[in-house]
Amino acid sequence: MHDKNMYSHEFKKRVRYGETDQMGYLYYGNYPQYYEIGRVEMLRSLGLTYKAMEEEQGILMPVVSMNIRYVRPAHYDELLTILTTLRQLPDRFITFHMELFNERSKLVNGATVKLCFVDAASGKTIPAPEMLVKQLKLYFEET
């Protein structure tokens, strides 16, 4: 899914039994793992991997904030669609807009997850890697 001034990526993930609570719902504390799957697969769709950024470029991406909204439960064995969207180009920070949809295309959960870019050697915040920005600029109109 591509629109002007944003980049979106979809990935499917089935709710496993071990991820559910006593009610058979996806346990609320497991949603951030789904967001991570969405972020990793989005970056992979752009030809980048967390592993390469960490090992080859020495760039880490810690989470600095997360805002979660629970709309309806996701159930055991349900196939969820993880929609990950970037609405602006990253600078020192990158904000992922997350939406999880059930098999009926109903919104289950929404979140924003903000990360920063850190130089592994110095521990200092740095600008987004040029390779990432260059790939994303293909999806954003110049303003």
DSSP-assigned states of every residue in 42-111: HHHHTT--HHHHHHTS-EE--EEEEEEEE-S--BTT-EEEEEEEE-S--SSEEEEEEEEE-TTS-EEEEE
Predicted pLDDT at 1: 45
Q: CB–CB of 132/46 below 8 Å?
A: yes
The whole-number pLDDT of residue 2 equals: 47
pLDDT 10s digit of each residue in the chain, 143 long? 445 789 999 999 999 999 999 999 999 999 999 999 999 999 999 999 989 999 999 999 999 999 999 999 999 999 999 999 999 999 999 999 999 999 999 999 999 999 999 999 999 999 999 999 999 999 997 65
pLDDT at 136: 94
